[in-house]
Amino acid sequence: MKLSWNDVTPEPLVLNRRAVIAGLGLAAAGPALPARAAVDPGKPNSFEEITNYNNFYEFGFGKTDPAENAGALTTDPWAVDIGGMIDRPGSYSLADIAPANAVEDRIYRLRCVEAWSMVIPWQGVPLAGVLARVGVQPSAKFVEFQTLLRPEEMPEQRRRSLDWPYVEGLRLDEAMHPLTLLATGLYGKPLPNQNGAPIRLVVPWKYGFKSAKSLVRITLTDRQPVSTWQAMQPSEYGFYANVNPGVDHPRWSQATERPIGAGLFGGRKETLMFNGYADEVAHLYAGMDLARDY
């Protein structure tokens, strides 16, 4: 099935442009853009750092395991099943989801729940545009994301260390937010396997674990998905997982973070509310108690 990029509705495009500027930390200019520039995400980490310090537990629990073991993953051919409460369910190719002329650059902070952080120059397409094209039905309230299940190529899936496949979820408005990206590349190269080739989610205001890698299924649903980490340890990992320096993990503080590559004396940094994207996303959580809905 082909996704039509011809009947693009104007609104997501306007929002996308705004998000690119926010993502790049450039000063806002021109019409339909916010008066205030978003927080500067900082200097990107090196390609070496971004591809050799990873969490991709399907390939092992050590930070260098994904770089060492993910070479065995075959990512061509690849298809993503998009289904559930949409008008045009089907199996979509990468070219359908992220045609070259729709791919954008986004420099985003990534803040891991383990209290380290990086800055990553991604390429990808806003999820909102993809969802608009498959026709989200009014009954849909949440989006569930599923990673590949292929134990032959993913060594940790041959053990019962986690309840595979890896599953994550977003509320529909979070999924539709212009900052939410389906990434297909970094540093202008196709996504390395250890970073979630060939297509992964990136939600920059949430802890890194929300950004599920190597996606094979996206499902629109009216029920709040139960994510892998939430199912495993609900007292430690909530559904929302918004970066929040004021709400500690039960076993450690979330007030500060260790920037990867800053060196031994680079020092810790204060963690920012919503990872620095509060101006863009705080309105999504107005009236919610984020200590309860963590």
Interface with ligand MTE (CB under 6 A): 54-58, 110, 112, 147, 166, 195-196, 208-209, 211-214
The Cα-based distances of 290 to 118, 223, 272, 275 in angstroms read 24, 20, 15, 14
Residue 229 binds which entry of Mo ion, ligand MTE, none, CB below 5-8 Å type-dependent: none
Sign of CA dihedral 112, 288, 23, 13: positive
- Please report whether residue 203 would count as binding Mo ion according to CB under 5 A: no
Residue corresponding to tokens 């993910």: 70
Residue nearest to ligand MTE (CB): 208
- Report the nearest approach of Mo ion to the CB of residue 210 (Å): 9
Nearer to ligand MTE, 12 or 121 (CB): 121
- Report the nearest approach of ligand MTE to the CB of residue 221 (Å): 19
- Please report whether residue 208 would count as binding Mo ion according to CB under 5 A: yes
- Report the nearest approach of Mo ion to the CB of residue 89 (Å): 31
- Please report whether residue 209 would count as binding Mo ion according to CB under 5 A: yes
Nearer to Mo ion, 140 or 243 (CB): 243
- Please report whether residue 112 would count as binding Mo ion according to CB under 5 A: yes
Contacts of residues 7-13 at CB distance under 8 Å and 24 or more positions apart, as own/partner, are 7/133, 8/129, 8/132, 9/132, 12/126, 12/128, 12/129, 12/132, 12/178
CA distance 15 to 80: 25
Nearer to Mo ion, 144 or 168 (CB): 168
β partners of residue 12? none
Residue 211 binds which entry of ligand MTE, Mo ion, none, CB below 5-8 Å type-dependent: ligand MTE
